[in-house]
Amino acid sequence: MIDPKLLRGDLSDLQQQLATRGYALDMEFWQSIESERKSLQVKTEELQAQRNAGAKQVGALKKSGEDATELLNEMQQVSGEIKAAEDELRTLQERITQAALQIPNIPAADAPVGTSEDDNVEVRKWGTPRTFDFEIKDHTHIGETLGMLDFEAATKLTGSRFNVLRGQLAQLHRALIQFMLNTHTVKYGYTEMYVPYIVNSESLKGTGQLPKFEDDLFKLTNHTNNDEMDFYLIPTAEVPMTNLVRGERLDIKELPLKFTTHTPCFRSEAGSHGRDTRGLIRQHQFEKVEMVNVGTAEQSNELLEAMTGQAEYILQQLDLPYRTVQLCTGDMGFAAQKTYDIEVWLPSQDTYREISSCSNCGDFQARRMGTRVKDGKQTSLAHTLNGSGLAVGRTLLAVMENHQNADGSVNIPEVLRPFMGGAERIEI
């Protein structure tokens, strides 16, 4: 959530900043509701002052032995008016909060201004896309030919946009997870976590998925007594890991905190009908190794650069060409103020596709969660960051396509072979 103070003054600068994100700030609404809030605040304070003055008068009357009944009755009426005003102010403040929760983060000053992915800015490239001397197959064809990727079985079990992996391909999927976790914990000093795959609405509100993006979530319902449960399947491990510090006061000496975990992720993919329906690109359930950093305002930019480099290192070790782009204002996620996307080369599509997104959310999530940093007697809002390190399914398909052979087999990257019993390739 953005700083509420920004919604109480001159809104023109804020309106311009949010417009670069494609968000139209309702100036009339915010000016009107702020005027109403101020009026109620003044009314409440005046009534409280009247009650305090009356209390002193009652004390003076009683001290002098005079009858204070009439004044006490008057003060009782004032107390009732105060309670009504406070209730009205509380209700209004809730309306303000709910409206503010719908507003995206303000872009960082160095975020490129643009409206779509076409306006993203390439930062760097690594690796040279391989030249093939045979017809390139996509990962779906490779997996199905090997008999190790089965969409029909998944459709029978659940429905579309799910998959079943078998044999060495399932093993390679697991190997990628182990390699990523080992890299982030051993090389980069992350603390490995195990977190719930089900979270409550407060957790999703804390990281920004609720209330605005409920249609993208899978909500759980208890059918035994027809009561709705306040639980959702996680869309990303960012949600439970970031919310570990919800409501906490963190000692500045302990920062930054660096968490990593592997979880499945569940997304309804609302609004994506017809997009990437073939293969593993866009699934309702997929695996991800996630990184979360929590630090100070002074640390967060450096942490973002480091986290992006850590995700890139995984791709380098797997010998997968990629490029890193900085997202423009119109393409960033709701909670982000600055984002780098890492896009891996997919030979079958002859293009780069997103495989990791690393974002600095500034104090946006911390304000929603009530997460502060203690520095002696001073406190300030924490800064939170998150990044994929990496999306496992997309990494799997990138390995299959970039390391495919003419006979339909797939070479296993050297760093994964210890997790694969020493095998050098996947073949029938």
Which residues are documented as binding site for L-serine? 236-238, 290, 388
Q: Do residues 24 and 30 lie in contact, with contact meaning Cβ atoms separated by under 8 Å?
A: no
Q: Do residues 216 and 229 lie in contact, with contact meaning Cβ atoms separated by under 8 Å?
A: no
Q: Which two tokens stand for residue 57?
A: 């008068």
Q: Which two tokens stand for residue 64?
A: 């002098």
Q: Do residues 335 and 341 lie in contact, with contact meaning Cβ atoms separated by under 8 Å?
A: no
From the candidates 267, 367, 368, 372, which is the catalytic residue? 267
From the candidates 21, 161, 368, 394, which is the catalytic residue? 394
Q: Do residues 190 and 260 lie in contact, with contact meaning Cβ atoms separated by under 8 Å?
A: yes
User: Catalytic annotation on 282?
Assistant: yes
Q: In residues, how long is the chain?
A: 428
To which H or E segment does residue 169 belong?
A: helix 167-182
How many Å apart are CA 207 and CA 197, to the nearest integer?
Answer: 15
Could you write out the three-class secondary structure of 73-113? HHHHHHHHHHHHHHHHHHHHHHHHHHHHCCCCCCCCCCCCC
From the candidates 88, 144, 214, 354, which is the catalytic residue? 354
Alpha helices in 183-258, H assignment, sequence order:
201-207, 238-242
User: Catalytic annotation on 417?
Assistant: no
User: Catalytic annotation on 354?
Assistant: yes
From the candidates 300, 348, 357, 359, which is the catalytic residue? 357
User: Catalytic annotation on 79?
Assistant: no
Closest CA to 218 of 202, 197, 238: 197
To which H or E segment does residue 289 belong?
A: strand 285-295
Q: Do residues 204 and 232 lie in contact, with contact meaning Cβ atoms separated by under 8 Å?
A: yes
Q: Which amino acid is at 151?
A: F
Q: Which two tokens stand for residue 188?
A: 């980069």
Binding residues: 236-238, 267-269, 290, 354-357, 388
Q: Which amino acid is at 16?
A: Q
Binding residues for ATP: 267-269, 354-357
How many Å apart are CA 82 and CA 93, to the nearest integer?
Answer: 16
How many Å apart are CA 107 and CA 295, to the nearest integer?
Answer: 19
User: Catalytic annotation on 357?
Assistant: yes
How many Å apart are CA 149 and CA 297, to the nearest integer?
Answer: 45
In the beta sheet, which residues pair with residue 339?
359
Residues forming the active site: 267, 282, 354, 357, 394
